[in-house]
């Protein structure tokens, strides 16, 4: 059934209530029925006991002793609630009956146990009857059957049954209507939430859903959607910023290249001038290529396109590989690297990404360290992890910038170290690669003192 939410709530509520009301109605009916029959049975028993006293046995036949009087009374009075009495022998043969029975007989059942009460009919009218054994000198000699009309009781029960039966669907329909109205009112904030959510597009991402006044589930839902909107807004802003920064970064080397070439063709140059300017141009093209490579790498991480290639590797040999590639810069800057390989056990990870991470961190350590300083790489083992710490004695990072250095294209305090080239993409690539490999990345830094990057590699895959 394709019901609206509020109709579903109302429907379930109505089903539960219908079951409860049905039980309550059944209990009411049974209690009233029991009470009505209890009253009738009391009168019946009284009449039966009374007539047991008025029996005589003549020549083996059981007869009423005051039948004459009785018959006379029948003629004199109009009985509203007549009592019918009948006597049967042990085999059920009729022996005597009250005058008001005329030619009719009451229902008789040969029973061995004591008294029995049952409903039956006399001349098409409902009666309630009791059948009791007649005992003389400790032996049953026959049965006395007494009956009274149960028409009135039956009428009361029929009317009650009818009222309950008719009121049942009416009560349910009213309940359904009320539950639907109340449910509609309780879920009204959902309509509001839907309307606001539908209104929100990229151009008005700052809009938020008004929170319902009561701190209930709908309040939680609205807060959760607002939180989601906030995160989406932040992501879109970051994306916009990234696009703006990336185009700016790409345009700068192009502008330098264009300027160089324009100056070059203005007039004939000596071959030394050509070599110098073309070398400048090639440098810019290299910078551009590096930038584009890094942007592509970042985009690959974003799309999760890079499938991981996990295999056994030792972090210490990765460190040495990177240092070997950096040997020229290290020599030029007279930087000493102290590798403390406290853990040389292999780990399972992606060699390409581990190399990328170490290369970026070690290149930065070299780049941002003064000539003649020392870089320390410490490899140590934890319970199920390998920790690699890269400590430099470089320029350090201001505390307020520490949280942003992993943002794409962010270069901390760029003006303070204009001479140190960079794209601002290295650390965001490191952060993405670490997230993919479940490596915990941490940074601590003190301005002018140095920076420490910590990598915690999980041992297994």
Residue 362 or residue 386: which is nearer to ligand ADP going by CB? 362
Residues 83 and 147 sit within 8 Å (Cβ to Cβ): yes
Name the pairing type of β-strands 374-381 and 336-341. Answer: parallel
Half-sphere exposure of 108 (CA within 13 A, CB side): 22
Binding site for ligand ADP (CB under 6 A): 360, 364-365, 368, 392, 394-397, 405, 410-412, 422-428, 451
**Nearer to ligand ADP by C-beta: 6 or 411?**
411
Percent of residues in the chain assigned helix, strand, coil, to nearest 5: 55, 20, 25
Q: Residue 393 Cβ, how far from ligand ADP at the closest point, in Å?
A: 10
- Give the CB-nearest residue to ligand ADP: 422
Residue whose CB is less far from ligand ADP, 98 or 360: 360
Nearer to ligand ADP, 139 or 418 (CB): 418
Instruction: Please choose, from the candidates 117, 109, 110, 83, the residue with its C-alpha nearest in 3D space to the C-alpha of residue 97.
Output: 83
Tokens of 211: 């929170």
Burial zone of 347 (CB within 10 Å; 0-12 exposed, 13-18 middle, 19+ buried): buried
DSSP 414: G
CA 457/CA 379 separation, integer angstroms: 11
In 187-270, which residue ranges form alpha helices assigned H by DSSP? 188-199, 217-266
Complex with ligand ADP: residue 14 or 397, whichever CB lies closer: 397
Shortest gap between Cβ of 379 and ligand ADP (angstroms)?
A: 18
Closer CB to ligand ADP, 98 or 294, in the complex = 294
| Per-residue tokens: 289 | 């290529």
Q: Least Å distance between CB 197 and ligand ADP? A: 36
Least distance (Å) between residue 428 CB and ligand ADP: 6
Give least dist CB 312 to ligand ADP, A: 28
- At closest approach, how far in Å is the CB of 323 from ligand ADP? 15
């Amino acid at each position: 059934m394709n019901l609206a939410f509020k109709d579903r709530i109302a429907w379930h509520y109505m089903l539960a209530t219908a079951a409860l009301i049905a039980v309550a109605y059944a209990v009411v009916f049974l209690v009233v029925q029991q009470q009505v029959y209890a009253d009738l049975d009391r009168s019946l028993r009284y009449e039966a006991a009374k007539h047991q006293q008025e029996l005589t046995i003549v020549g083996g036949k059981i007869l009423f002793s005051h039948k004459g009087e009785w018959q006379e009374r029948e003629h004199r009075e109009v009985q509203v609630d007549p009592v019918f009495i009948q006597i049967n022998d042990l085999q059920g043969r009729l022996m005597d009956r009250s005058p008001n029975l005329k030619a009719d007989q009451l229902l008789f059942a040969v029973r061995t146990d004591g008294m029995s009460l049952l409903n039956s009919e006399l001349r098409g009218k409902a009666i309630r009857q009791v059948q009791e054994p007649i005992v003389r000198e400790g032996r049953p000699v026959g049965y006395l059957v007494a009956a009274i009309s149960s028409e009135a009781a039956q009428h009361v029960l029929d009317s009650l049954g009818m009222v309950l039966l008719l009121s049942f669907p009416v009560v349910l329909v009213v309940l359904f209507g009320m539950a639907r109205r109340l449910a509609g009112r309780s879920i009204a904030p959902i309509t509001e939430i839907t309307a606001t959510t539908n209104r929100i597009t990229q151009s008005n991402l700052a809009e938020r859903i008004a929170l319902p006044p009561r701190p209930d589930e709908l309040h939680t839902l609205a807060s959760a959607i607002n939180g989601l909107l906030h995160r989406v807004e932040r992501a879109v802003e970051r994306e916009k910023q990234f696009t703006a920064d990336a185009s700016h970064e790409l345009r700068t080397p192009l502008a330098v290249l264009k300027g160089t070439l324009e100056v070059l063709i203005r007039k004939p140059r000596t071959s030394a001038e050509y070599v110098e300017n073309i070398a400048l141009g090639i440098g810019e093209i290299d910078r551009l290529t590096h930038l584009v490579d890094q942007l592509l790498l970042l985009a690959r991480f974003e799309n999760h396109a890079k499938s991981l290639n996990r295999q056994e590797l030792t972090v210490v040999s990765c460190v040495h590989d990177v240092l070997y590639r950096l040997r020229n810069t290290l020599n030029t800057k007279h930087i000493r690297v102290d590798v403390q390989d406290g853990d040389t056990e292999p780990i399972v990870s992606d060699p390409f990404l581990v190399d990328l991470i170490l290369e970026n961190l070690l290149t930065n350590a070299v780049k941002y360290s003064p000539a003649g300083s020392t870089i320390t790489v410490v490899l140590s083992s934890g319970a199920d992890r390998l920790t690699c710490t890269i400590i430099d004695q470089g320029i350090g990072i201001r505390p307020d910038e520490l949280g942003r250095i992993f943002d794409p294209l962010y270069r901390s305090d760029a003006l303070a170290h204009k001479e140190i080239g960079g794209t601002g993409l290295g650390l965001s690539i490191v952060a993405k690669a670490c997230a993919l490999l479940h490596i915990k990345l941490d940074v601590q830094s003190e301005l002018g003192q140095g920076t420490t990057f910590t990598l915690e590699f999980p041992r297994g895959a």
